[in-house]
Structure 1
Amino acid sequence: MDEDFTRWQEITRSSEDGWVEDHITRLNGHGALFYKGGENGQYMRISPEGMLTVGTYEDAYPHIGEEIFSPAAQHRFESFDKALETACQLGGADFMTDMITAPTPEQDEPDYGFEMKM
């Protein structure tokens, strides 16, 4: 369990230098969550229905799932894809570069020692 805690802290710290995606949000079917800033920073969240919310967060310790979100703006788009397109525009070149160079979920998430089969 200590290894998992340490790994989550490393993932949170990795957002100090650039935008990262919380792969758990997407894998659980809750849309997408992008954040930057370590324990306190900025976020962009997109619901599966196309609601884009941007704002700040605090207290993401040991990981983004423990944060306190403070939304600053919200807009519903016709689709997830349109909301993602707008998020890319808002994030600019830094966001796009960070997303393109980000590790895959397999590289990013802890290995729990079991395989899911469907």
Structure 2
Amino acid sequence: MDTTPVPTPAALARPRGSYDRHRWEAAVLASGLQRLGRHLALTLAHLAGPAGQLPAGGRHDAGHLASVLRLDAKRVRLTLTELEQAGWIHRPDIRTWEPRQMLRPITLTLPADRGTDA
């Protein structure tokens, strides 16, 4: 009798919240995001680590992103907020983030985590 364990479909599925850059970028490109939102989202994907995260205190402050994208820092801040409200990124609440002087981390959220396909 074979006692080799057989994985269930749930065990073979990607864990919820796992990050797939290709899938995330494809969803961004297929979305209804405005041009600046898509551009910033794809830049964040480029800067993110393999887990889809930009760490606290990293190089993703609005000033640096504005310089990279050749845009106004205020517009970048507004677009980051729009991406967050639309569910494309997640950041800890600014009102409870400690230490205040350290930039909050950003996590790129997958379309499946947002409850949609795009």
Note whether the superposition's TM-score is higher than 0.5. Answer: no
Bigger strand share: 1
Give TM-score scaled by structure 2 length. Answer: 0.30
Whose relative contact order is higher, 1 or 2, with alpha carbons under 8 Å and at least 6 apart? 2
